[in-house]
Amino acid sequence: MDRVEFLHIAGQRAMTRAVGTILLSLTLTAFAAGAQDFNLVIRDHRFEPAEIRVPADKRVSLYVSNEDATPEEFDSTALKVEKVIAGRSKALIRIGPLTAGRYEFIGEFHADTAKGVVIAE
Protein backbone atom coordinates (compact mmCIF):
# COMPACT_ATOMS: atom_id res chain seq x y z
CA MET A 1 0.00 0.00 0.00
CA ASP A 2 1.35 3.47 -0.80
CA ARG A 3 1.90 6.28 1.65
CA VAL A 4 -1.16 8.28 0.77
CA GLU A 5 -3.42 5.27 1.09
CA PHE A 6 -1.83 4.41 4.43
CA LEU A 7 -2.38 7.93 5.74
CA HIS A 8 -5.95 7.81 4.50
CA ILE A 9 -6.64 4.56 6.37
CA ALA A 10 -4.86 5.83 9.49
CA GLY A 11 -6.97 8.98 9.31
CA GLN A 12 -10.15 6.95 8.99
CA ARG A 13 -9.20 4.84 11.98
CA ALA A 14 -8.48 7.91 14.11
CA MET A 15 -11.84 9.31 13.04
CA THR A 16 -13.66 6.11 13.95
CA ARG A 17 -11.94 6.12 17.32
CA ALA A 18 -12.83 9.75 17.94
CA VAL A 19 -16.47 9.16 17.02
CA GLY A 20 -16.50 6.09 19.27
CA THR A 21 -15.11 8.09 22.18
CA ILE A 22 -17.63 10.89 21.65
CA LEU A 23 -20.52 8.42 21.45
CA LEU A 24 -19.33 6.67 24.63
CA SER A 25 -18.96 9.91 26.56
CA LEU A 26 -22.33 11.15 25.25
CA THR A 27 -23.98 7.97 26.46
CA LEU A 28 -22.25 8.22 29.81
CA THR A 29 -23.10 11.93 30.22
CA ALA A 30 -26.71 11.45 29.16
CA PHE A 31 -26.77 8.70 31.68
CA ALA A 32 -25.26 10.69 34.53
CA ALA A 33 -27.73 13.53 33.92
CA GLY A 34 -30.79 11.31 33.76
CA ALA A 35 -29.96 9.02 36.63
CA GLN A 36 -30.20 9.76 40.31
CA ASP A 37 -27.03 9.63 42.32
CA PHE A 38 -26.46 8.18 45.77
CA ASN A 39 -23.28 8.14 47.84
CA LEU A 40 -21.95 5.31 49.95
CA VAL A 41 -18.80 4.99 52.02
CA ILE A 42 -16.93 1.87 53.05
CA ARG A 43 -15.17 2.48 56.36
CA ASP A 44 -13.75 -0.19 58.68
CA HIS A 45 -15.31 -2.80 56.38
CA ARG A 46 -18.83 -1.43 56.87
CA PHE A 47 -21.15 0.39 54.50
CA GLU A 48 -22.34 3.86 55.53
CA PRO A 49 -25.24 4.26 55.20
CA ALA A 50 -26.15 0.59 55.34
CA GLU A 51 -29.62 1.35 54.00
CA ILE A 52 -30.31 3.36 50.85
CA ARG A 53 -33.76 4.29 49.60
CA VAL A 54 -33.96 4.70 45.84
CA PRO A 55 -36.87 5.30 43.46
CA ALA A 56 -38.34 2.15 41.89
CA ASP A 57 -38.29 1.59 38.11
CA LYS A 58 -35.46 4.07 37.56
CA ARG A 59 -31.80 3.69 36.78
CA VAL A 60 -29.73 4.81 39.74
CA SER A 61 -26.02 5.51 40.21
CA LEU A 62 -24.28 4.55 43.43
CA TYR A 63 -20.97 6.28 44.06
CA VAL A 64 -19.10 4.05 46.47
CA SER A 65 -16.01 5.41 48.16
CA ASN A 66 -13.76 2.85 49.79
CA GLU A 67 -11.90 4.65 52.57
CA ASP A 68 -10.24 1.47 53.83
CA ALA A 69 -6.73 0.63 52.69
CA THR A 70 -7.82 -2.81 51.48
CA PRO A 71 -9.88 -3.70 48.39
CA GLU A 72 -13.54 -4.66 48.69
CA GLU A 73 -15.95 -6.35 46.32
CA PHE A 74 -19.42 -4.89 46.15
CA ASP A 75 -21.46 -8.01 45.56
CA SER A 76 -25.17 -8.54 45.09
CA THR A 77 -26.93 -11.11 42.95
CA ALA A 78 -30.18 -9.25 43.70
CA LEU A 79 -28.79 -6.05 42.17
CA LYS A 80 -26.72 -7.94 39.57
CA VAL A 81 -23.53 -6.25 40.69
CA GLU A 82 -20.09 -7.70 41.19
CA LYS A 83 -17.50 -4.96 41.34
CA VAL A 84 -14.10 -4.74 42.96
CA ILE A 85 -13.28 -1.40 44.57
CA ALA A 86 -9.58 -0.91 45.26
CA GLY A 87 -8.44 0.46 48.61
CA ARG A 88 -8.81 4.25 48.98
CA SER A 89 -10.64 4.68 45.72
CA LYS A 90 -14.11 5.40 44.37
CA ALA A 91 -16.32 3.41 42.09
CA LEU A 92 -19.50 4.10 40.17
CA ILE A 93 -22.08 1.32 40.31
CA ARG A 94 -25.12 1.50 38.06
CA ILE A 95 -28.24 -0.32 39.18
CA GLY A 96 -31.88 -0.59 38.20
CA PRO A 97 -34.50 -0.21 37.00
CA LEU A 98 -35.65 -1.99 40.18
CA THR A 99 -39.10 -3.32 41.00
CA ALA A 100 -40.15 -2.05 44.43
CA GLY A 101 -38.61 -4.18 47.17
CA ARG A 102 -35.51 -4.91 49.25
CA TYR A 103 -32.19 -5.72 47.61
CA GLU A 104 -29.37 -6.85 49.86
CA PHE A 105 -25.71 -6.36 49.09
CA ILE A 106 -22.47 -7.31 50.80
CA GLY A 107 -18.78 -6.54 50.67
CA GLU A 108 -17.71 -10.02 49.70
CA PHE A 109 -14.20 -9.68 51.11
CA HIS A 110 -15.58 -8.84 54.57
CA ALA A 111 -18.98 -10.48 54.42
CA ASP A 112 -19.38 -10.65 58.22
CA THR A 113 -19.42 -6.87 58.69
CA ALA A 114 -19.95 -5.27 55.27
CA LYS A 115 -23.71 -5.60 54.74
CA GLY A 116 -26.29 -3.26 53.32
CA VAL A 117 -29.64 -3.04 51.62
CA VAL A 118 -31.11 -1.00 48.78
CA ILE A 119 -34.82 -0.31 49.20
CA ALA A 120 -36.62 0.57 46.00
CA GLU A 121 -39.94 2.36 46.54
Partner 1 sequence: MLGALIIVFREVIEAGLIIGIVLAVTRGVPGRGRWVGAGVLAALVGAGLLALFAETIASAFEGAGQELFNAGVLGIAVVMLMWHNLWMAGHGQEMAASMAEVGKAVSAGKRPLAALAMVVGLATLREGSEVVLFLYGIVAAGASVSSLLLGGALGLAAGALFTALTYYGLLAIPPRHIFAVTTVLIALLAAGMAAQAVQFLDAAGLINIMGQRLWDSSAWLPQDSIFGRLLHTLVGYTDRPTELQLIAYVVTLAIMAAMTWIAGSSRRPRAV
Where on the phi/psi map is residue 111: left (φ > 0), alpha (ψ -120 to 50), or beta?
alpha
Task: Tell which one of 11, 12, 87, 102 touches partner 1 (CB under 8 A).
Answer: 87
Task: Tell which one of 47, 54, 62, 72 touches partner 1 (CB under 8 A).
Answer: 72
> Judged by CB, which is closer to partner 1: 6, or 31?
31
> Judged by CB, which is closer to partner 1: 52, or 74?
74
Question: Residue 93 pairs with which residues in a beta bridge?
Answer: 62
C-alpha distances (whole Å) from 86 to each of 23, 64, 82, 93 are 28, 11, 13, 14
- Residue 46 interacts with partner 1 (CB under 8 A): yes or no: no
- Residue 58 interacts with partner 1 (CB under 8 A): yes or no: no
Strands (E), the chain: 36-43, 46-48, 51-54, 60-66, 72-76, 81-85, 89-95, 101-107, 115-120
> Judged by CB, which is closer to partner 1: 6, or 27?
27
Maximum C-alpha span of the chain: 64
- Residue 31 interacts with partner 1 (CB under 8 A): yes or no: yes
Residues that bind partner 1 in the complex, under the rule CB under 8 A = 24-25, 27-28, 31, 59, 69-73, 77-78, 80-81, 83-87, 89, 91-94, 96-97, 99, 108-112
